[in-house]
Amino acid sequence: MDFKKIKKVYMIGIKGSGMAQLARYFAENGKEVIGSDVAENFPTSEESLEHENIRILLGFDENNIDPGSDLIIYSTAYKPEKNPEVRKALDGRIKAVNYPEALSAVFNQKYGIAVVGSHGKTTTTAWLGYVLLEAGFRPNVIVGSIVPQFKGGSLVGGSDYFVAEVDEYQNKLRYFNPRAVLLNNIDYDHPDFFLSREDYEKVFADFIKRIPAKGILIANFDDPVVRRLSSVNCPARVLSYAIGNKADYEAYEIKNDGARQVFKVRTREDDESFELGSFTISLAGRHNISNALAVIAMSVQLDIPLKDIRGYLAEFRGTNRRMQVLGEYNGGLFIDDYAHHPTEIKTTLEGIKSRYRGRFLTVVFHPHTFTRTKALMDDFSKCFSKADKVIVLDIFGSAREEQGGVHSTEMVSKIKEEEPEKEVVYIPTLAECEEYLKKNVGNGDIVVLMGAGDVFQVADNLIK
C-alpha cells in the first residue's frame, strides 16, 4: 500500500481509541480524513480528532462514504451484517482495509517498535515515545489513549522510527512485522475470542517468532509465561528485565516517597554486573517500575545517553485514564483508571494505596463485557483487597458479544465470600452511583472510577 498516493481517507468507527490516533496520524501527514461514528463522546479520542483535516459524521449510512475516497478503513468492532457502511465498503469499488491492516501497512515500512502484552501497553508506548521525542529521534507514535505531553494520542515525526501499541485481541498481531518488541506480560484475557489460555499464548509465541534475527525482544522475565515463550520462540536477541530477579536489566532498592518512586538499575553482561544508577518516576505502582525498565532497556539499545534517559523518564506524566486525577468533590479525590482485568485492578489499587497511605479507598467498578466477567469471576473476587469499599455497577456489554449469562450481583456475592468484612455495594446505573457518592464521599477519601467503559462519567457532574 503506497500511502504517498493516498489523498483522502474514509474511516468507519473513527472514535475508537486506535482509529482516532490513526486518523490524527493521517491528518498530520496532510491527508483529508472523513469518518463516521456514533454520537457518544469518547474521552480517549475526542481531543485527537480536533484537527482541521478531520471531519466527523454522526451515524452510519452507506451514502456517507465519499466515492472520491482513495482508501476506506473500518474498525473491527463493526461487522458488515450490522453496519451498512462496512457492507458498502466491502463491495470492492474502493480499497478497504480494517484498522490493524492499515496501521501495520504504515508500521511495516518503518523501523517498527511494537509494544505488546496483556497490561501496560498504553503507558509503555507513550513513555518510550516521549523519551525518543525528547532525545531528538523525531518518532512516529500511535498510542491507545490521550497523552497530555503529546497533546493527543499520536506523534508524526520525520524519522524512520515508529512506536506502536499493538493489541492482541482478534489476533491483530498477525499483521505486524516488527524490528523490535517490548513484551510486558501475558495474562489470559479476551475469552470471547480466545477459548483457552493456550490459544491466547500462541498468538504471542507466533508474533515473537517473526522478529528478525537482527531485531530485539525486550521481555519481562518477572512473568513466567513471557520467560518460557521467549526462550524457545524468538530468533532475535532477547534482553530481559525484572524487579529483584536476575535479568539483563534489574530494578532494586525501590523507595516510595509518596509523590514519586526511586529505584536503582543494574545490567548484566557475560555474568558481570554493571550499575546504571538511580532513576526517578512520577507514576505510582510497582507495575510502572516494570514499564520503566522496558523503556530504559530499549532506550539504551538505541544509544540514548543514560543521563538523558534518566531525565526524560522522570519528566513523563502518564496518559489519560491511567490513574488520572480528575479533581475533588466534598474533599474526596477522584481518580479515573481504565483497568478492567483482575491483574490490572490489583496492581493499580496497590499503586494508589501506596501513594495515598491511610486514606479511605472506594472503588467504583464497571465490569467490562459479559464474557470476561463470567470467565474471570473467581479472579475478580480476589482483586479488590486494597479497597475499603467496592461499588459494582451493571456490566458494560460489548456490541461484539451476546448479552447476559452473568450479572454484577454475582460479583458482589463472590467478593463478599472472599472478604466478609468488606463493604460491597451493587448500584445498577451511573446516575444512581452519582447520587450515592454525593451522600457518601467525605474529606480525605479516595474514589477510583475503574473500568474500560464510561464509568468516568460518574464524576462529570460532581467535579466542576
Examine the pLDDT at 233 and tell me if it is beyond 90. no
Examine the pLDDT at 400 and tell me if it is beyond 60. no
Decide if 201 is inside a domain: yes
Examine the pLDDT at 300 and tell me if it is beyond 70. yes
Residue pair 26/33 in contact by the 8 Å Cβ criterion: yes
Tell me the average pLDDT across 232-239.
91
Give CA–CA dist 391/431, Å, rounded: 13
Examine the pLDDT at 464 and tell me if it is beyond 80. no
> Among residues 77, 98, 119, which one ends one of the domains?
98
> Residue 389 has what pLDDT?
97
9 and 112, same domain (yes or no): no
64 and 35, same domain (yes or no): yes
Domain count, the chain: 3
Residue type, 306: L
> Residue 401 has what pLDDT?
52
Decide if 222 is inside a domain: yes
> Residue 404 has what pLDDT?
74
Q: How confident is the model at residue 329 (pLDDT cuts 50, 70, 90)?
A: very high
50 and 150, same domain (yes or no): no
Give CA–CA dist 312/132, Å, rounded: 9
pLDDT digits (tens, 9 = 90+) for 176-226: 999 999 999 999 989 888 999 999 999 999 999 999 999 999 999 999 999
> Residue 435 has what pLDDT?
95
- Sign, CA dihedral 279-285-289-295, equals negative
328 and 446, same domain (yes or no): yes
Give CA–CA dist 35/318, Å, rounded: 28
Chain centroid, CA 129 distance in Å? 14
> What are the angstrom distances between the C-alpha of 295 and each of 221, 285, 352?
15, 16, 22
Tell me the average pLDDT across 18-22.
90
Cell numbers at 88, concatenated: 458498502
Decide if 464 is inside a domain: no
Decide if 112 is inside a domain: yes
Q: How confident is the model at residue 335 (pLDDT cuts 50, 70, 90)?
A: very high
Cell numbers at 77, concatenated: 468492532
CATH code of the domain covering residue 429: 3.90.190.20
- pLDDT mean across residues, the chain: 92
307 and 393, same domain (yes or no): no
> Residue 119 has what pLDDT?
92
234 and 286, same domain (yes or no): yes
Q: How confident is the model at residue 94 (pLDDT cuts 50, 70, 90)?
A: very high
> Among residues 63, 98, 133, which one ends one of the domains?
98
Decide if 284 is inside a domain: yes
Count the neighbouring beta carbons within 10 Å of the beta carbon of residue 50: 12
What end-to-end distance do the CA atoms of the chain give, in Å? 47
Decide if 217 is inside a domain: yes
261 and 359, same domain (yes or no): no
Q: How confident is the model at residue 39 (pLDDT cuts 50, 70, 90)?
A: confident
> Residue 259 has what pLDDT?
82
b/e burial code for range 285-318 (CB count within 10 A of at least 16 → b): bbbbbbbbbbbbbbbbebebeeeebbebbeebeb
> Residue 43 has what pLDDT?
65
Residue pair 182/128 in contact by the 8 Å Cβ criterion: yes
Portion of the chain with pLDDT greater than 90, in percent? 75
Residue type, 319: T
Q: How confident is the model at residue 402 (pLDDT cuts 50, 70, 90)?
A: low
Give CA–CA dist 130/126, Å, rounded: 6
Lowest mean pLDDT, pick from 283-292, 317-326, 425-434, 445-454:
317-326
153 and 282, same domain (yes or no): yes
What is the four-CA torsion angle of 94, 98, 100, 101, rounded to 10 degrees? -40
Give CA–CA dist 307/97, Å, rounded: 43
Decide if 41 is inside a domain: yes
Q: What angle do CA 240, 242, 245 make, to 5 degrees?
A: 110
> Residue 91 has what pLDDT?
92
pLDDT digits (tens, 9 = 90+) for 344-396: 999 999 989 988 989 999 999 999 989 999 999 999 999 999 999 999 999 98
Decide if 103 is inside a domain: no
200 and 344, same domain (yes or no): no
CATH code of the domain covering residue 249: 3.40.1190.10
Examine the pLDDT at 128 and tell me if it is beyond 90. yes
271 and 371, same domain (yes or no): no
Examine the pLDDT at 32 and tell me if it is beyond 80. yes
> Among residues 315, 344, 362, which one ends one of the domains?
315
222 and 269, same domain (yes or no): yes
Can you give the residue range of the structural domain that contains 56? 3-98
370 and 307, same domain (yes or no): no
pTM value is: 0.85
| Residue 22 dihedral angles phi and psi, to the nearest 5° | -70, -40
CATH code of the domain covering residue 22: 3.40.50.720
Cell numbers at 161, concatenated: 522510527
Q: Which residues contact 84 (CB under 8 A, 6 or more apart)?
A: 60, 61, 62
